[in-house]
Amino acid sequence: MAPQFSDWSREVQDEVERALGAFLPPAGAVPHKLHEAMRYTTLGGGKRVRPLLAYAAGALFGADADALARVAGAVEMIHVYSLVHDDMPCMDDDALRRGKPTVHVAYDEATALLVGDTLQAQAFQVLADSETVPPARLVKMVRLLAQAAGSSGMCGGQAIDLDSVGLVLNREELERMHQLKTGAMLRVSVVLGALAGRDLSDEELQALDTYSAAVGLAFQVVDDVLDATADSATLGKTAGKDAADNKPTYVSILGLAPSRALAEQLRRDAHDALAPFGDKAQRLRELADLIVQRKA
C-alpha cells in the first residue's frame, strides 16, 4: 500500500535535504564564506515544490534514486539562486526569505550575488554528473534546464516583471510573464523527473506539458492571493510586497474571489491532463491540490 501523501512528501523532502547537503560544497572548504552562505540559503527550509514534482513524475516513469536526486537537486539550486538574486536591493529588495534574513542581509550584497552565480553553476554540474541516464538523454535534460532558467524562461519572466512595475497589464500579458517566471521551472521539474526514467512519447510529453502549465499558473495565482491575504510570519517572507511595490497581480487585475476561483479551475485542469496515466499519476494530482490549497 502506498504511503499517505503527507508521509511521502516528507520522505522526499528529507531525501532532497540529504542530497543537497551532499551536492553542495562543505562550509569548511575555501572560500569559506561563499560556501557557508550557499548552505545557509539552500538547506533547512522551503516547500521543495519543484523537487516534489520531479519525484512524482520520476516515479511515474521508473526513474532511479540517483537520477531523481540529481534532477531534484539541480532544479532546487536554480530556484534558490533565483530567490537570492530576486531578494537583492537591485530587484525586490527584501529582507526575509523562508523565515530568516535574506543572504544579502545575513552576509552582504557581493556574497549574495556570488551565491546565486555559484548555485546556478552547481546545478548544471550536479545534473551533468549523472551516471545512470543515457548520455543523449542527459544532454537533452541539460538543454531543457538551461532553456527553462534563461531568457526564454525564468530570467525572461523576471525581466518582464521588473519592467512591469507601475504598469497596467491585461490578463494575457500577466499570464505570459508568469508562464516564464514561475511556470518554466515548474514544467522542467516535471519533465526532467520523467526523463530521468525514460524517453517520452509525444502524447506523454503533451499531457505533462498541459499539467505543468496548469499547476505553474495556479502556483502564481495562489502566490498573489497569499501576498494579499496572509501575514509575513505565515508566509516566511514579507507579505503585501506586491501591492506596496505597485506590481500587477492576479488579485489586482481580477479581484480576490475570481483569483481563488481561477486557481480552483486550474487545479481541475491539472487533474484532467493526467487522465491518460490513470492511478499511477496520483502523486502529481496530490501536488496540484497542495499547490492550490497551501496557506504559505
Q: How far is CA 94 from the centre of its chain?
A: 19
pLDDT at 99: 87
How far is the CA of 128 from the CAs of 70, 84, 193, 240, 279, in angstroms?
Answer: 9, 23, 14, 39, 32
Into how many domains does the chain fold? 1
Q: d(Cα 215, Cα 219) in Å, to the nearest integer? A: 6
| Residue closest to 215 by CA, chosen among 268, 174, 170 | 268
Per-residue pLDDT, averaged over 170-187, amounts to: 94
* Four-point Cα dihedral 200, 66, 72, 126, nearest 10: -110
pLDDT per position as a tens digit, 225-278 = 998 887 766 666 676 666 666 778 999 999 999 999 999 999 999 999 999 999
Give the domain extent around 186.
5-293
| Contact indicator for 248, 164 with CB cutoff of 8 Å | yes
pLDDT at 248: 86
Q: Which residue has the higher pLDDT, 296 or 195?
A: 195
Q: d(Cα 79, Cα 84) in Å, to the nearest integer? A: 9
pLDDT at 295: 82
State whether the Cα torsion 26-28-31-37 is positive or negative. positive
Asked whether the predicted pLDDT for residue 35 surpasses 90, the reply is yes
Per-residue pLDDT, averaged over 11-17, amounts to: 97
pLDDT per position as a tens digit, 42-56 = 999 889 999 999 999
pLDDT at 240: 64
Q: Which residue has the cell 530521468?
A: 196
Residue 168: φ, ψ to 5°: -105, 110
| Residue closest to 291 by CA, chosen among 275, 267, 261 | 267
pLDDT at 165: 86
Beta-sheet strands, E only, within the chain:
96-97, 100-101
pLDDT per position as a tens digit, 191-221 = 999 999 999 999 999 999 999 999 999 999 9
Asked whether the predicted pLDDT for residue 12 surpasses 90, the reply is yes
Average pLDDT, the chain: 94
Cα end-to-end span (Å), the chain: 30
CATH number at residue 33: 1.10.600.10
Establish how many alpha carbons lie within 13 A of residue 247's alpha carbon, considering only the half-sphere containing its beta carbon: 21
pLDDT per position as a tens digit, 111-166 = 999 999 999 999 999 999 999 999 999 999 999 999 999 999 999 999 999 999 88
pLDDT at 1: 65
**Residue 189 is inside which H or E element, if any?**
helix 184-195
pLDDT at 202: 97
| Residue closest to 244 by CA, chosen among 166, 171, 169 | 166
